[in-house]
A = this chain, B = another copy of it.
Amino acid sequence: MSDTSLPPTERASGAKPSLSKSSLSRRRFLNLAGIGAGAAVAGGGAALAAPAAGTPDPNIVPVPDWTKTLGAPVNENPYGKPSVFEKDVVRREVTWLTASSQSSVSFTPLYALDSAITPNGLCFVRHHGGQAEIEPDKYRLMIHGLVDKPLVFTLEDLKRMPGRVNRAYFLECAANSGMEWRGAQLNGCQFTHGMIHNLFYTGVPLKTLLDMAGVNPKGKWVLAEGADAAVMTRSIPLEKAMNDCLVAFGMNGEALRPEQGYPVRLVVPGWEGNMWVKWLRRLKVGDQPWQQREETSKYTDLLADGRSRRFTFVMDAKSVVTSPSPQAPLKHKGPNVLSGIAWSGRGTISRVDVSLDGGRNWTTARIDGPAMPMSMTRFYLDFDWAGQELMVQSRAMDDTGYVQPTKQELRAIRGTNSIYHNNGIQTWLVRSNGETENVEVG
């Protein structure tokens, strides 16, 4: 062995290594080394330079190629990309769900993500008429209807408006988990729960713009219209518009991504994603809702008796375990980290409980980081796994006292006709070999 087997910074120390390369495979070494507690280096620290015997990890002692040769230059990618080893962490479609790829959805790979922030490149995409590519210089936002002074804003106008803010909010499609109304169907939290993301938005309070236009006392609703080919239109109560909606031009520090409405989208905190109109073109103040297609034929909740709930704007408290999950099976016995996300459109997540036995026993999870209102919250449960079957569930609570219901409780009230507003408790079955699948309890 050459002395490259020494840590490079200690080569000058004079120690002469005499290392017999282990023939053990990495797998066998890991088995020998035990789980979770790291792998004890045989013979102690000094033995690393010259181990007398034992089974050193073949990946720690020799100097790897990436230490021996210069790497890529600093500006290989002026706009950076993920590692080539992360190429499977991407948005995915379920092609049989939708008829066209322009009016479709691709899902956030929740199983591979952590933290409470979603990376911009992995935010789920839902279009009704394809992704509009808007020239920012030609972008205009019009405010009209029951206002004293109709106004048109350029993008630069919006960026010069007083009172710019940054706020973290989750955006969940009303149809997230929609297929689950009729039983466990999609095998992965990317597909069952992946129509959600959580971002810091930069923008102007909608109230500021409406106040400039001067809302007529008869004004009670605001119509928001998108500039894409679907011309998405939704009616929003004026009270909500004046309370906390944003006209946003930034996400996680940079410009909105094209698929998220570049250059401007509406932010409607805590309310269903369909109302967060992308490529926002027009806001009209009126005295009643407009009864557009997307709030009558769609985005209403058909009940068992044939009647529909409508204007079901708020996304109720919900959670899901993202790991373990079907795309992130358990690989090791011993210590493991259960990780998940929780959110509520009514306020702040105050507590998340986790069950490993299908809802019989519950343990309060550790909520990580500052929990913010109407923003996704990360939770963890550190646990030891002996290899037994698990039925993993999570149950979110918010600061209004609301508790996430079971799917059965939801179905008892709402039937199974709807595809919207399914916030029922999700169950993952972890088999003794670690493979995990979507199941229903009871």
Q: Mark A77-91, 1 if CB is under 8 A from B, else 0.
A: 111111111100111
Q: Mark A146-183, 1 if CB is under 8 A from B, else 0.
A: 01011111101101111111110000000000000000
Write out the residue numbers on chain B whose beta carbons fall within 8 Å of the beta carbon of A104. 73-75
> Among the listed B41, B68, B144, B255, which residue makes an inter-chain contact with A82, where contact means beta carbons less than 8 Å apart?
B255
8 A Cβ contacts from A111-164 to B? 112-123, 125-127, 129-140, 142-145, 147, 149-154, 156-157, 159-164
> Among the listed B7, B80, B369, which residue makes an inter-chain contact with A91, where contact means beta carbons less than 8 Å apart?
B80
Docked complex Cα distance between A104 and B72 (Å) = 11
Docked complex Cα distance between A117 and B133 (Å) = 25
Write out the residue numbers on chain B whose beta carbons fall within 8 Å of the beta carbon of A404. none
Docked complex Cα distance between A100 and B102 (Å) = 46
Contact B101–A75 (Cβ < 8 Å): yes
Contact A151–B41 (Cβ < 8 Å): yes
> Given A74-B102, A202-B114, do A79 and B38 touch, yes or no (CB 8 Å)?
no
> Among the listed B80, B151, B209, which residue makes an inter-chain contact with A122, where contact means beta carbons less than 8 Å apart?
B80
Contact B153–A39 (Cβ < 8 Å): yes
Q: Which stretch, A256-264, A298-306, A345-353, touches the partner chain B?
A: A256-264
Q: Mark A270-297, 1 if CB is under 8 A from B, else 0.
A: 0000000001011010000010100000
Write out the residue numbers on chain B whose beta carbons fall within 8 Å of the beta carbon of A52. none
Docked complex Cα distance between A335 and B227 (Å) = 27
Output the least CB separation between A392 and chain B (Å): 16
Contact B253–A70 (Cβ < 8 Å): no
Contact B337–A159 (Cβ < 8 Å): yes
Contact B335–A162 (Cβ < 8 Å): yes
In the complex, which residue of chain B has the Cβ closest to the Cβ of A282? B7
Is A187 an interface position by the 8 A CB rule? Answer: no
Output the least CB separation between A173 and chain B (Å): 12
Contact A152–B38 (Cβ < 8 Å): yes
Is A231 an interface position by the 8 A CB rule? Answer: yes
Write out the residue numbers on chain B whose beta carbons fall within 8 Å of the beta carbon of A120. 80, 119-121
Contact B144–A33 (Cβ < 8 Å): no
Output the least CB separation between A357 and chain B (Å): 21
> Among the listed B119, B153, B370, which residue makes an inter-chain contact with A38, where contact means beta carbons less than 8 Å apart?
B153
Write out the residue numbers on chain B whose beta carbons fall within 8 Å of the beta carbon of A231. 8-9, 67
> Among the listed B9, B26, B79, which residue makes an inter-chain contact with A292, where contact means beta carbons less than 8 Å apart?
B9
Q: Which stretch, A56-64, A394-402, A410-418, touches the partner chain B?
A: A56-64
> Given A45-B147, A164-B339, A227-B67, do A74 and B126 touch, yes or no (CB 8 Å)?
yes
Contact A105–B212 (Cβ < 8 Å): no
Is A3 an interface position by the 8 A CB rule? Answer: no
Contact B279–A135 (Cβ < 8 Å): no
Docked complex Cα distance between A107 and B10 (Å) = 33
Write out the residue numbers on chain B whose beta carbons fall within 8 Å of the beta carbon of A147. 45
Docked complex Cα distance between A209 and B100 (Å) = 50
Contact A91–B113 (Cβ < 8 Å): no
Docked complex Cα distance between A161 and B213 (Å) = 55
Contact B252–A67 (Cβ < 8 Å): no
> Among the listed B45, B162, B252, B281, which residue makes an inter-chain contact with A119, where contact means beta carbons less than 8 Å apart?
B252
Contact A105–B74 (Cβ < 8 Å): yes
Write out the residue numbers on chain B whose beta carbons fall within 8 Å of the beta carbon of A372. 370
Contact B200–A85 (Cβ < 8 Å): no
Write out the residue numbers on chain B whose beta carbons fall within 8 Å of the beta carbon of A336. 160
In the complex, which residue of chain B has the Cβ closest to the Cβ of A249? B114
Docked complex Cα distance between A361 and B336 (Å) = 57
Q: Mark A22-47, 1 if CB is under 8 A from B, else 0.
A: 00001000100101111111001101
Write out the residue numbers on chain B whose beta carbons fall within 8 Å of the beta carbon of A326. none
> Given A68-B229, A130-B71, A133-B84, do A91 and B115 touch, yes or no (CB 8 Å)?
no
9 pairs of residues in contact across A and B, judged by CB atoms under 8 Å:
A30-B154, A40-B149, A60-B152, A67-B227, A71-B102, A72-B102, A73-B102, A79-B121, A112-B255
Q: List 17 additional contacts besides A26-B137, A39-B152, A164-B337; criterion CB under 8 Å.
A: A38-B157, A38-B209, A40-B151, A66-B227, A71-B228, A74-B93, A74-B259, A79-B90, A80-B125, A81-B121, A82-B254, A113-B253, A161-B337, A162-B337, A164-B368, A164-B380, A166-B368
